[in-house]
Amino acid sequence: MTARVGVITFPGSLDDVDAARAVTRAGGQPVPLWHGDRDLRGLAAVILPGGFSYGDYLRCGAIARFSPVMTELIPAARDGLPVLGICNGFQILCEAHLLPGALTRNAGLRFIDRAVRVRIEDTKTPWTGSYAPDQEITLVLKSGEGAYVADAPALSRLTSAGQVVARYAGGNPNGSVGDIAGVRNEAGNVVGLMPHPEHAIDALTGPGSGGLGFFSSVLRAMVDG
Amino acid sequence: MSRPPVDTVPAAAASPGQPQPYAELGLTSEEYERIRALLGRRPTDAELAIYSVMWSEHCSYKSSKVHLRRFAETAPPSPALLAGMGQNAGVVDIGQGYAVTFKIESHNHPSYVEPFQGAATGVGGIVRDILAMGARPVAVLDSLRFGPADALDTRRVLPGVVAGISFYGNCLGLPNIGGELGFDPCYRGNPLVNALCVGVMRHQDLKLAAARGTGSKVILFGSRTGPDGIGGASVLASATFGGSDGAKRPSVQVGDPFMEKLLVECCLELYAAGLVTGIQDLGAAGVSCATTELAAGGGTGMRVELDTVPLRDPGLGPAEILMSESQERMMAVVEPGQVGAFMRICARWGVLGTVIGEVTGTGRLEMTWHGEPVVDIDPGTAADEGPVYHRPVARAAAQDRLLADDPARLARPSAGPQLRATLLSLLAWPSLADKSWVTEQYDRHVRGNTVLAMPEDAGVLRVDEQTGLGVALATDGNGRFCLLDPYAGTQLALAEAYRNVAATGAVPLAVTNCLNFGSPEDPGVMWQFSEAVRGLADGCATLGVPVTGGNVSFYNQTDSEPIHPTPVVGVLGVLADVTRRVPIGLRTEGSTVALLGRTGDEFGGSVWAQVAHGHCGGHPPAVDLAAERALAAVLTAAAAAGLLDAAHDLSEGGLAIALAECCLAGGRGCQVTVTGDVFTQLFSESAARAVVAVRPGRSEALAALAAEHGVPVTDLGVVRGDSLVVTGSFDISVDELAAAHRGTLPALFG
């Protein structure tokens, strides 16, 4: 049976179609989840896509974390459900306190759409298992509030526990502390990533296919797990 | 709380002598008298509001109509055209059951008064036009012109405009795949912000703006109506700027792209469920435009209870509601039995929907305010039968002096180091410099179908993931060429966009246009306008691509100085298989570099003349549309046959700039040899040319193809190394090219 991966659509989600396409391309079956649903439909993994959920009003991700689907997702994630938040999804996971830290305005104060080199530093998560340690890939960064910040104790905990999943490798594009591009929770099942792997699955429409590994990783983890 | 009294139809009939503020609303006394004659009484305040916005230049095309007819009269027969001019946007058949709709529109004046919101709502408005045709909007492009790049005011206007487009388009989830950015002193005080949107639908999904079916309900949905943008069409878009522009700020609308995203998804779901019989977007002239056009389009009547319109400001009266240009609103005509289903879909998307009236069989547009009649007109008189002006047309005496000012007298570089310095100075010139500072602020990747985007010749989008069917889009315009010769200059803009599309491998299919001009009350401007329209219509007929729609923007002048005539032409092409698209970057060492087309000594209106001598005179490059057609045929056939590694059209800055851009995009050098006068070969702006990199071993196949179409091919050299080498003249490393090209805009704008 094809592995089923949920993709949540919040009002204002934009990259949900792209995340679904990436799941398909990796060999899985994407299942749409609606922000108003209080049911995860027994899915074994869930993606929170990029976009501007609820218009990013108040603060990026601040309203989405209270949506009905999140009231189901938060305890499931605490129980080990693999969850990947991309861009706005990462912001929502931080707002929901599933991940430490926060995302703030880019250092240049402008939106950036650019191909960026990223080094995968933790290959033990369900989302990064098919990468080699320290493998460098090219993804698409496209965000206005992508600068990762965390206070000093949180940062040292992240580093010592190996919770930094990915760092920018070809220069820091947005002022993220420690060049951090992605982090995970302590258990490792919840990953947040600022650059978009779903826009790097095909050289025809993106900078190569280096992002596909996030989706094939979770499919493999679902089979193995 | 008692309501302030309103001006009703009986009150208007009973008080014929009451003075009315028609002049403040932009109507002339003749136009006001015509309204009185049509109604047989003075208009009510609400009716006056409707006529003032519907008869504005922006909505009625009253000065341009007599010229625009030419597009329809000379349109080449095209089986691809499913809906043409007069609809919200033209619709083109691209095969496999798909139709594409696209249109470009100006938001020049609002973007000068309030750059961020002005540009943002320009994007929002054109997206709703496309949505109203039944299509899913899939991408935007923008064509921008500003005053001198180093002018203080450009530093206010440009960053605001770019941020506004970025904010609205990104938040709406539409990739921005191309457009243009140029600078010229003529746009100081009057920037051009033209936004193009393209949408895709299945043939059967085409929607038209018409209210049919007596008893059907009229539903206003989307944002609440507020006091923003009141009179935007009449006050801002249809008048010349003077000294106190800050006072016009309340006429600029404020955008909410989040609401527009919900509105887009909501509409597409309503269409899919078959719940909509007529649809119209609310743009310029808001409720006035939507109600009159729907009623006139259906040949029916409509009754509207204006007091049911949901308001953001409860103090608004009927005239203000009719004139408001609040964004993110649509109007639908829905059968009575389907209103419940319609509202359920609106609720799912959090979109407010309100029944504000119904379709009648009376042929009248009737509106009430708390039960009292405030409007009773024939909708056609407002929507279709506005005034038509035959404005005086006169070729300015200065035109001959401009043409006589031949660039042949200008000193030219000849030695290698001079040619080298010329190339670097052009490459760093703001209009030709790298635009990443701007384009990196736009999301080009969202929806995952962007195959090519800036700085490629055209944006290319995949339409069907299974078959690889796709479309290409380019916009072009050259105000300097049009200043010298508006007929030829407009054809050069058309030819360039057509060539750009073909360079990616796409077959050009259809044309849209945004005609940016000064005041139509100036006979010299009207001459430029009529020549431009004639040039575009003739050019489209020769190239076999119909004009499917467009937009006219007059009054682009501050005080008495008009902008250069700047028709911006958008061309849409189709690619049977987007995997065959050809980018501009040199990718393969050993590919042969060749020039397609003929080079003449043509420097009138050229970038070199402007940069080196501050000169704009003489004749623009010669137009040869048969040669353009042949060149496009070679480019598309060569792409389909997989002969090309790269292709790039030649335009501003000629061969030298094109080669430098090919090197920069691919990160590779090339070594070329030119024969004859090196300066002319490198910098002339002769049209109907492209440079190509031919895959190793495929040169003979390209030569055969070119011979078949009668296009001259000149082998220039080979892709090699990491420098641009012009044998015997100069050698510039790709790194040095990059430093010249990429430093300009960041240095100016931070």
Candidate from B66-80, B92-106, B143-157 with smallest mean pLDDT? B66-80
B170 touches chain A (CB under 8 A): yes
Alpha-carbon gap, residue A32 to A7, rounded angstroms: 5
CA distance B49 to A1: 64
Query: Does a structural domain hold residue B195?
Result: no
Strands B557-558, B644-649: pairing kind: unpaired
CATH number, domain with residue B337: 3.90.650.10
When pLDDT is cut at 50, 70 and 90, the band that residue B245 belongs to is very low
Cβ of A112 within 8 Å of Cβ of B442? The answer is no
List chain B residues with CB under 8 Å of A110: 163, 166, 440-441
Are the beta carbons of B367 and B304 closer than 8 angstroms? yes
Residues B265-283 pLDDT 10s: 999 999 999 999 999 999 8
pLDDT of B601 reads 97
What is the secondary structure of B447-513 as a DSSP string? TS-EEE-TTSSSEEEES-TTT--EEEEEEE--HHHHHH-HHHHHHHHHHHHHHHHHHTTPEEEEEEE
Average pLDDT for B564-582: 98
Q: Which two tokens stand for residue B479?
A: 């105000």
Of B261, B262, B447, nearest to A17 by CB-CB distance is B447
Contacts of B457 (CB under 8 A, 6+ apart): B474, B499, B500, B501, B503, B504, B584, B647, B648, B649
Percent of chain B's residues with pLDDT above 90: 87
Interface test with B, best of A9, A86, A110 (most B CBs within 10 A): A110
Query: What are the chain B neighbours of A14 within 8 Å (beta carbons)?
Result: 173, 261, 446-447
Residue A37 CB neighbours (<10 A): 16
Interchain contact, B579 vs A15, CB within 8 Å: no
A222, with CB counted inside 10 A (0-12, 13-18, 19+), is middle
Is the pLDDT assigned to residue B77 strictly greater than 90? no
Element (H, E) at B417: helix B416-428
Interface test with A, best of B439, B446, B454, B578 (most A CBs within 10 A): B446
- Average the pLDDT over B708-736 and give the result: 98
B322 Cβ contact partners less than 8 Å away, ≥ 6 residues apart: B46, B49, B50, B53, B286, B287, B288, B306, B375
Q: Which residue of B has its CA nearest to A36?
A: B348
**Angle ∠(B119,B384,B21) on CA atoms, nearest 5:** 70
Instruction: Find out whether B52 and B231 touch, Cβ atoms under 8 Å.
Output: yes
- Using CA atoms, how far residue B524 sits from B71, B473, B562, in Å, is 21, 32, 10
Can you tell me the distance from the alpha carbon of B583 to that of B732, in angstroms, rounded to the nearest whole number? 22
The H or E element containing residue A33 is strand A29-34
Give CA–CA dist B277/B208, Å, rounded. Answer: 9
Helix (H, G, I), strand (E, B) or coil at B165: helix
Give the tens place of pLDDT for each residue, B211-221.
788 999 999 99
CB A171 within 8 A of CB A119: no
Q: Do A199 and B173 touch (CB under 8 A)?
A: no
* B155 is a domain residue: no
Indicate the CATH number for domain A4-224: 3.40.50.880
Assess whether B292 and B428 both reside in one domain.
Answer: no
Average confidence (pLDDT) over B710-731: 98
Give the mutation candidate from A35, A205, A209 for the B interface (greatest B CB count, under 10 A). Answer: A205
The pLDDT of residue B728 is 96
Phi and psi based region of residue B142 (left: phi greater than 0; alpha: psi -120 to 50; beta: remaining): beta
Q: Which of A113, A141, A215 to mutate: most B Cβ within 10 Å?
A: A113
Instruction: Supply the pLDDT for residue B72.
Output: 82
Catalytic entry in A72, A95, A145, A198: A198
Residue identified by tokens 């940062």 is: A155
CA distance B48 to B35: 8
Q: Name every residue whose Cβ is closer than 8 Å to that of residue A88 and which is 6 or more positions away in sequence.
A: A13, A48, A49, A50, A51, A52, A53, A56, A60, A61, A64
> Is the predicted pLDDT of residue A139 greater than 80, yes or no?
yes
Q: Could you give the percent of chain A with pLDDT greater than 90?
A: 93
- Whether the pLDDT of residue B314 is over 70: the answer is yes
Query: What are the two backbone dihedrals, phi and then psi, of residue B314, each rounded to the nearest 5 degrees?
Result: -65, -10
Interface of B with A in 320-349 (CB under 8 A): 349
Return residues 571-610 of B near A (CB < 8 Å): 578-579
As annotated, the active-site residues of B are 58, 107
CA-to-CA distance for B77 and B82, rounded, in angstroms?
A: 12
Could you tell me if B302 and B422 lie in one domain?
A: no
How distant is the Cα of A48 from the closest Cα of chain B, in angstroms? 15
Which pLDDT score, from 0 to 100, does residue B239 have? Answer: 57
B322 and B423 inside one domain: no
Nearest-CA neighbor of B658 among B640, B674, B643, B642?
B674
pLDDT band at B741 (very low <50, low <70, confident <90, very high): very high
Q: Is the pLDDT of residue B423 over 70?
A: yes
Q: Give dist(CA A22, CA B371) in Å, integer.
A: 56
Write the residue in B440, B443, B448 that is nearest to A205 by C-beta.
Answer: B448
CA angle A108, A114, A116 (to 5 degrees): 100
Report how far residue B91's alpha carbon sits from residue B132's, in angstroms, rounded to the nearest whole number.
Answer: 12
* Nearest-CB residue to B451 (from A14, A113, A204): A204
Distance CA B240, CA B475 (A): 26
Contact B7, B374 (CB under 8 A): yes
- How far, rounded to the nearest angstrom, does the alpha carbon of residue B340 sit from its chain's CA centroid? 38
- Judged against a pLDDT cut of 80, whether residue A38 lies above it is answered with yes
Answer yes or no: do B283 and B382 share one domain. Answer: yes
Residues of A in contact with B442 (CB under 8 A): 111, 113
Q: State mean pLDDT over A79-100.
A: 98
With CA atoms as reference, report the closest residue to B499 among B470, B482, B515, B476: B476
- Treating both helix axes as pointing N-terminal to C-terminal, what angle do B257-272 and B339-348 enclose, rounded to 10 degrees? 140
The whole-number pLDDT of residue B288 equals: 93
B589 and B712 fall within a common domain: yes
**pLDDT over 90 (residue B115):** yes
pLDDT, mean of residues B683-706:
98
As a whole number of angstroms, the distance between CA B526 and CA A189 comes to 67
Q: Write out pLDDT tens, residues A156-208.
A: 999 999 999 999 999 999 999 999 999 999 999 999 999 999 999 999 999 99
Alpha helices in B40-82 (DSSP H): 45-54, 57-60, 65-74
> Across residues A134-155, what is the average pLDDT?
97
| Residue pair B549/B175 in contact by the 8 Å Cβ criterion | no
Which residues constitute the domain of residue B616? 418-433+583-750
CB contacts of B262 in chain A (<8 Å) are 11-12
Q: Is the dihedral of CA B318, B323, B327, B328 positive or negative?
A: positive
Residue A119 predicted with pLDDT over 60: yes
Q: Determine the average pLDDT of the residues in B562-587.
A: 97
Between residues B83 and A206, which one has the greater pLDDT? Answer: A206
Is the pLDDT at B242 greater than 60? The verdict is no
* Segment B489-539, tens digit of pLDDT: 999 999 999 999 999 999 999 999 999 999 999 999 999 999 999 999 999
In chain A, domain spans: 4-224
* Averaged pLDDT score across all residues of chain B: 94
Mean pLDDT of B419-437: 98
Q: Compute the nearest-CA separation of A225 from chain B (Å).
A: 30
Q: Does B449 touch chain A (CB under 8 A)?
A: yes
Contact B440 A51 (CB under 8 A): no
d(CA B3, CA B458): 56
**Chain A nearest C-alpha distance from B339 (Å):** 23
Helix (H, G, I), strand (E, B) or coil at B628: helix
Residues B57 and B63: beta-carbon distance below 8 Å: yes
* Beta strand B217-222 pairing with A102-104: unpaired
Exposed / middle / buried, residue A1 (Cβ in 10 Å: 0-12, 13-18, 19+): exposed
Nearest chain A Cα distance for residue B166, angstroms: 8
Burial of B339 (0-12, 13-18, 19+ CB in 10 A): middle
Interface contacts (A, B; CB < 8 Å): 82
Does B422 lie in the same domain as B367? no
**In sequence order, which ranges of B509-555 are alpha helices (DSSP H)?**
523-543
**B617/B676 same-domain check:** yes
Number of domains in chain B: 2
Same domain as B279, residue B427: no
What CA–CA distance (Å, rounded) separates B280 from B311? 19
Residue B313, pLDDT score:
87
Q: Is B237 exposed, middle or buried (0-12, 13-18, 19+ CB in 10 A)?
A: buried
Q: A56 at the B interface (CB within 8 A)?
A: yes
Once rounded to an integer, what is the mean pLDDT over residues B402-406?
97
String of b and e for A41-80 (b: at least 16 CB within 10 Å)?
A: eebbbbbbbbbbbbbbeeebbbbbbebebbebbbeebeee
Q: Which residue has the higher pLDDT, B537 or B252?
A: B537
Q: Give the whole-angstrom CA distance, residue B398 versus residue B320.
A: 45
What is the ipTM score, two decimals? 0.96
Cβ contact (<8 Å) for A55 and B462? no
Helices B523-543 and B625-640: crossing angle in degrees, nearest 10, is 50
Residue B233: predicted pLDDT? 59
Terminus-to-terminus CA distance in chain B, angstroms? 54
Q: What is the pLDDT of residue B88?
A: 64
Cα–Cα dist B99/B502, whole Å: 20
Q: Is the dihedral of CA B286, B288, B293, B294 positive or negative?
A: positive
Report the range of poorest mean pLDDT among A144-153, B87-96, B472-481, B543-552: B87-96
The distance of B259 to chain A (nearest Cα, Å) reads 8
Q: Cα distance from A117 to chain B (closest Cα, Å)?
A: 16
Residues of B in Cβ contact (< 8 Å) with A198 = 448
Out of A72, A94, A196, A199, which one is annotated catalytic?
A196
Q: Name the β-bridge partners of B472.
A: B460, B573
Q: Is pLDDT above 70 for B179? A: yes
Average predicted confidence (pLDDT) for chain A: 96
Is B124 in contact with B223 (CB distance < 8 Å)?
no
Whether the per-residue pLDDT at B243 is higher than 60: the answer is no
Inter-chain touch B449–A57, beta carbons under 8 Å: no
Using the predicted structure, report yes or no on whether residue B200 has a pLDDT greater than 80: yes
Q: Is B448 on the interface with A (CB under 8 A)?
A: yes
Give the closest of B350, B448, B451 to A11, CB-based.
B350
CA dihedral in degrees (B235, B131, B199, B508; nearest 10)?
Answer: -50
Q: Which of A72, A87, A94, A121 is catalytic?
A: A87
**Distance from C-alpha of A192 to C-alpha of A85, rounded to nearest angstrom:** 5
Choose among B256, B443, B448: nearest Cβ to A142.
B443
Same domain membership, residue B382 and residue B250: yes
- B178 in Cβ contact with B473 (< 8 Å): yes
Residue type, B334: V
Lowest mean pLDDT segment, chosen from B15-19, B84-88, B139-143, B713-717: B84-88
Catalytic site residue A199? no
